[in-house]
Amino acid sequence: MSFTHGLSNTLKRLTERDETVLVQYNDRASQHLYPKLEDRGYQYETLEDE
């Protein structure tokens, strides 16, 4: 999956759902996604494996 596809897919899923929480598992923190979430008024949290 390319970066652009993954980012746009996540944003699309958020707008298509009425759920209050979307849990997504990634290989690494999505630094490019965070500003886009903030711009759209979404809150996010990143948890890392220990």
Tens digits of residue pLDDT in 25-43: 878 888 888 899 899 888 8
Asked whether residue 1 carries a pLDDT value surpassing 50, the answer given is no
User: Three-state DSSP class for 50?
Assistant: coil
For residues 8 and 41, give the distance between their C-alpha atoms in angstroms, rounded to a whole number. 16
pLDDT for residue 19: 66
Q: Do the beta carbons of residue 3 and residue 32 sit within 8 Å?
A: yes
- Compute the mean pLDDT over every residue in the chain, rounded to the nearest whole number: 80
pLDDT for residue 26: 79
For residues 32 and 50, give the distance between their C-alpha atoms in angstroms, rounded to a whole number. 23
Which positions ≥6 away from 24 have C-beta within 8 Å?
10
Domain positions in the chain: 3-39
pLDDT for residue 39: 93
Q: Do the beta carbons of residue 23 and residue 13 sit within 8 Å?
A: no
